[in-house]
């Protein structure tokens, strides 16, 4: 069997405070194989995004990892020196944020922001990085990419800004992309276009994807397997078709019942 690309075991995250620490992620374990999409689904506040930030060691105080391991390509990310971890973020694991309007630098041209991802990791510089930025904008289907590369984020629509975020995430050809509610801020038509784009890019680049969402409909459309998160714990996980046909947990059944027309 192929070794998992990402192997999260017994991950626990707490937020320190009075009168006692609050557990946000409780003993969570899951794996993602190369080229696989795992949907991490649950309602807002269930611990999905905190799990993603813990994997990338982006938790802000008072949050901290209280236990567990995060093995990626055979290394425990939680034990890496910060300098080594910076080489992982963006180059080996990239993150697509749910709100590009706040994630993108408002005073920096979008082409420069894509090029910066390449420059930081030593993959290209100068004119080569700029040319690659235009190619990435074309790959995410932004028309008139050379002109758009010179635009600032506020000059783009919400859907185009999300495509720029995807371009940045793919710049270094990482084997794993974490997509944190990538369509939440978009209207329904643009959501469908972005999901179709992610599907095509996943196939083109053989990406593994951790897809974080509260929408079981998105998981049913995009994921190979699903892990259901409730109050910081995983209550069940398995192949998408199996969970859709025979959910074992009441919370999963309630999520499925919320899908219109199901």
Give percent of the chain with pLDDT exceeding 90: 82
On the question of pLDDT at 257 being above 90, the answer is no
Query: In the prediction, which pLDDT does 109 show?
Result: 97
Q: Of the candidates 225, 229, 218, which has an alpha carbon nearest to the alpha carbon of residue 242?
A: 225
Check if the beta carbon of residue 5 is closer than 8 Å to that of residue 175. Answer: yes
Q: How far is C-alpha 157 from the chain's CA centre?
A: 21
In this prediction, residues 74-84 reach a mean pLDDT of 96
- Residue ranges per domain, the chain? 6-87+95-105+175-257
Mean pLDDT of the chain: 93
In this prediction, residues 93-101 reach a mean pLDDT of 88
Neighbours of 194 (CB within 10 A): 23
On the question of pLDDT at 67 being above 70, the answer is yes
Span 139-152, pLDDT tens digits? 999 999 999 999 99
Using CB atoms within 10 A of its CB, is residue 86 exposed (0-12), middle (13-18) or buried (19+)? middle
Query: In the prediction, which pLDDT does 5 show?
Result: 97
**Is the bond leading into 95 cis (omega within 30 degrees of zero)?**
no
Span 164-210, pLDDT tens digits? 999 999 999 999 999 999 888 788 888 888 889 999 999 999 999 99
Tokens describing residue 237: 């996980």
Q: How far is CA 210 from CA 51, 131, 257, 262, in A?
A: 11, 29, 23, 24
pTM here is 0.94
Q: What is the DSSP string of the chain?
A: -PPPSEEEEEEEEEE--SSS-EEEEEEEEEEE-TT-EEEEE--TTSSHHHHHHHHTT-PPTTEEEEEEEEEETTEEGGGS-HHHHHHHBTTTEEEE-S-HHHHS-TTS-HHHHHHHHHHHTTS--HHHHHHHHHHHHHHTT-SSHHHHTTS-GGGS-HHHHHHHHHHHHHTT--SEEEEESTTTTS-HHHHHHHHHHHHHHHHHHT-EEEEEES-HHHHHHH-SEEEEEETTEEEEEEEHHHHHHS--SHHHHHHHHTSTT-
Task: Indicate the class that CATH gives domain 6-87+95-105+175-257.
Answer: alpha beta
Query: In the prediction, which pLDDT does 261 show?
Result: 63
Rounded distance, CA 35 to CA 214, Å? 22
């Amino acid at each position: 069997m192929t070794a998992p690309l990402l192997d999260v075991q017994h991950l626990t995250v707490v937020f320190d405070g009075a009168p006692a620490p609050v557990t946000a992620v409780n003993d969570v374990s899951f794996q993602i194989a190369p080229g696989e999409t795992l949907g991490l689904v649950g309602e807002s506040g269930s611990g999905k995004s905190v799990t993603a930030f813990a994997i990338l060691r982006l938790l802000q105080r008072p949050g901290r990892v209280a236990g567990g391991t995060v093995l990626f390509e055979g290394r425990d990310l939680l034990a890496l020196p910060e300098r080594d971890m910076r080489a992982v973020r963006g180059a080996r694991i990239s993150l697509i944020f749910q709100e590009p309007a706040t994630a993108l630098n408002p005073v920096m041209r979008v082409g420069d922001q894509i090029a910066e991802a390449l420059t930081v990791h030593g993959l290209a510089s100068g004119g080569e990085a700029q040319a690659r930025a235009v190619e990435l904008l074309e790959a995410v289907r932004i028309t008139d990419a050379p002109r758009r590369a010179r635009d600032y984020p506020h000059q783009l629509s919400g859907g185009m800004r999300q495509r720029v975020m995807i371009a940045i995430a793919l710049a270094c050809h990482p084997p794993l992309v974490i997509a944190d509610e990538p369509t939440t801020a978009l209207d329904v038509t643009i959501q469908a276009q972005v999901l179709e784009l992610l599907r095509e890019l996943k196939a083109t680049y053989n990406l593994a994807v951790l897809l974080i969402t509260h929408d079981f409909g998105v998981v049913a459309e995009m994921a190979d397997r699903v892990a259901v998160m409730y109050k910081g714990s995983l209550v069940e996980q398995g192949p998408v078709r199996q969970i859709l046909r025979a959910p074992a947990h009441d919370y999963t059944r309630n999520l499925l019942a919320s899908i219109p027309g199901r």
